[in-house]
Amino acid sequence: MDDHRPYLPPEWSNEERIRTLMGPMPVAQDEVARTARLTFWTAAIHHWCSVTKKLTFTLQESLSAFRRGTQQPLCLPEVLLHMNRLGEVVPLDELPLGESDEESWVGWGRRVFIATPSRFAWNKVKQALGANNIQSKVFVNAKLLQEMCEAVFNSYWNMSLDDQLAASKPLSFSELYSKVGGCVGSADSLHLVVERLVHDGRAATTLRENMTYVKLAVPGSLQKPVITQMELAENELCIAQKTVENNVSKLEQEIAGLQQEVMTALKAKSKTKALASLRRKKRAEKSLFTQMGALENVNACLLQLQETQVNKQVLGAFRNGVEAIRCSIAGDSSADSAANTMDELQQVLEECQDISSLLASGVSSQGTDVDEDMLSEELDQLVAEDQNLNQIDTNLANQMQGLGLPDVPKTNPLASVKDLSGPSYSPPLS
């Protein structure tokens, strides 16, 4: 039987072998056959998930994936329970994801020595009683999840080698998917990967304006990443800056097109259409003036925010410097030393106050109403210019009509010239 599914094992073409493997699980006494059956289907399920990048699946999906004609692998339910006991697949509702609270030693002992063994024992009891229903459970391939976490983390930072400072800032979930989507296959898989990275302390997420932002930890750093309000504000300002710049570009193109429409209407002697196009052009210019003011405000705010970050670093450096000075003059509590330290701190605080004052100021953008008289005057000027151009063209055409070419001669003008090189020619005597 020819089957071109790429995840199928090599034994799939062996009719007798596959017919045996598709049967039910052997009895518990036949340990060798049970082990062979579990080993084969465990490897097959892992290979299926890896090739298709399928991080989550159900029992029905696995049965459909390994269907052979009308036959399905009857032992897959027991195989999944075996993989669950080994921790190779985990039900989605039992998978630890997201932020994890700080665990005390007592909590760790309760989880390791009481909760986990109790859950495994209860699952085994339900399996023995036939009450362990896995039909509706969604399983997560824990091994593939760990591989995808490493692939996403390494791929993101390998693409950001040139600008690690920008890569260390939060980005939206859609931007992250556009960068590393090839490692996970789907947005749902990436969501699980990010939540797992958050649980491991290698990522942080936050929800702002119905948009999820993700920040990955710097490679080699043991510190858990944190998304600050300043980083979110800078991200939003950058988005607003791009939006306003696009609006300005569109308005400039619209104004140029309306100007062309005005000139075309004047040439067609359609003053009403030209006046309407000119009025639309004035409105577009007013909107452009407003957008330019908004762009200037956004740029100023973004610049001040970036300067604030630099000043925060400088202030931290001053604080560390003060601590270093305090340690270096330990035992010396003279008034002069204290006065110098306070003067330095006062100077830094005054600089911060100046920056706050600059942040409070903005760029005002006020548009002016269109004056109909000025609009008509500008239109009359354009009409006069167009008429002058038409008059010049008419005068030039009249002058060209008076010009003419001479008649074509009917005889050869060189026929009367004697041939000086003939035999009858005799040079004069000296």
CA–CA distance, 87 with 141 (Å, rounded to integer)? 9
Q: What is the per-residue pLDDT for 388?
A: 76
What's the order of all strands across the beta sheet hosting 89-91?
56-57, 139-141, 89-91
Residue 191 reports pLDDT greater than 50: yes
CA–CA distance, 184 with 193 (Å, rounded to integer)? 8
CA–CA distance, 265 with 379 (Å, rounded to integer)? 11
Q: What is the per-residue pLDDT for 420?
A: 46
Indicate the length of the chain as a whole number.
430
- 95: helix, coil or strand? coil
Lowest mean per-residue pLDDT among 58-72, 175-189, 244-258, 344-358: 344-358
DSSP 171: E
Residue type present at position 302: L
Residue 5 reports pLDDT greater than 70: yes
Residue 298 reports pLDDT greater than 50: yes
Q: What is the per-residue pLDDT for 192?
A: 92
Q: Which residues are paired to 207 by β-bridges?
A: 212
Residue type present at position 358: L
Q: Which of 6-15, 123-132, 189-198, 313-322 has the highest mean pLDDT?
A: 189-198
Residue 417 reports pLDDT greater than 60: no
Q: Is the pTM of this model over 0.75?
A: no
CA–CA distance, 396 with 415 (Å, rounded to integer)? 41
Residue 139 reports pLDDT greater than 60: yes
Q: How confident is the model at residue 218 (pLDDT cuts 50, 70, 90)?
A: confident
Residues 6+ apart with CB under 8 A from 85: 120, 123, 124
Q: What is the per-residue pLDDT for 57?
A: 92
Got the DSSP string for 258-285? HHHHHHHHHHTT-HHHHHHHHHHHHHHH
Contact 7, 48 (CB under 8 A): yes
Q: How confident is the model at residue 144 (pLDDT cuts 50, 70, 90)?
A: very high
CB atoms within 10 A of CB 154: 13
Q: For residues 13 and 190, which has the higher predicted lDDT (pLDDT)?
A: 190
Q: Which of 98-112, 196-210, 346-360 has the highest mean pLDDT?
A: 196-210
What's the order of all strands across the beta sheet hosting 211-216?
171-172, 211-216, 203-208
Q: Which of 36-45, 100-109, 340-349 has the highest mean pLDDT?
A: 36-45
Q: Which residues are paired to 71 by β-bridges?
A: 68
Q: What is the per-residue pLDDT for 365?
A: 47
Lowest mean per-residue pLDDT among 209-218, 240-249, 404-413: 404-413
